[in-house]
Amino acid sequence: MTTVRELLKWKGSKVSSIHPDATVFEAVEKMADQDIGSLAVIDGEKLVGIIAERHYARKVVLKGKRSAETPVRDIMEDVIAVRPEQSVEECMAIMTERRIRHLPVLEGEQLIGIISIGDLVKSIISNQKFIISQLEHYIHGEGYVDFAQH
């Protein structure tokens, strides 16, 4: 089973953030500039929420609010975070159950990354391709495969 820590090793742990008093316009602009779908909302050193493009669409656009006047704190979601030792499968279950697409990764109180549903899907597909490839090698008599080294 792949852990979140392993996933962050290949994905990277760069986290983009914004202050809760920033405007939603600033948040959406930052996400667009960086080609990302979410931002950690940080107040001082503390993770206080997360804002994603869907929050903008549902809580600003559909409510008729103005993004240049609405602070991030008004539309951010509460933090649902995972730990680095959790498995990709556990994270997929959390995202499915909670209907969320991004999970901050906390080690203690420190934010060390954010994973998306896309990251999890890529990881699962990669692992499945590896297993299929190794089984094909085994079936065709190309030798023993040590799955523990993947």
Question: What is the model's pLDDT at position 136?
Answer: 77
Residue 119 has pLDDT above 70, yes or no: yes
Q: What is the pLDDT of residues 68-82, one digit of tens each?
A: 999 999 999 999 999
Residues 52-56 have a mean pLDDT of 91
Query: Predicted confidence band at 127 (pLDDT cuts at 50, 70, 90)?
Result: confident
Say what the pLDDT of residue 133 is: 76
Angstrom distance (rounded) from CA 54 to CA 84: 25
Q: Does residue 91 have a pLDDT over 90? A: yes
Number of other residues whose CB lies within 10 A of the CB of residue 105: 22
Supply the pLDDT for residue 148. Answer: 57
Torsion angle in degrees (nearest 10) through CA of 76, 82, 84, 86: -150
DSSP 71: B
pLDDT mean over 17-34: 97
pLDDT band at 143 (very low <50, low <70, confident <90, very high): low
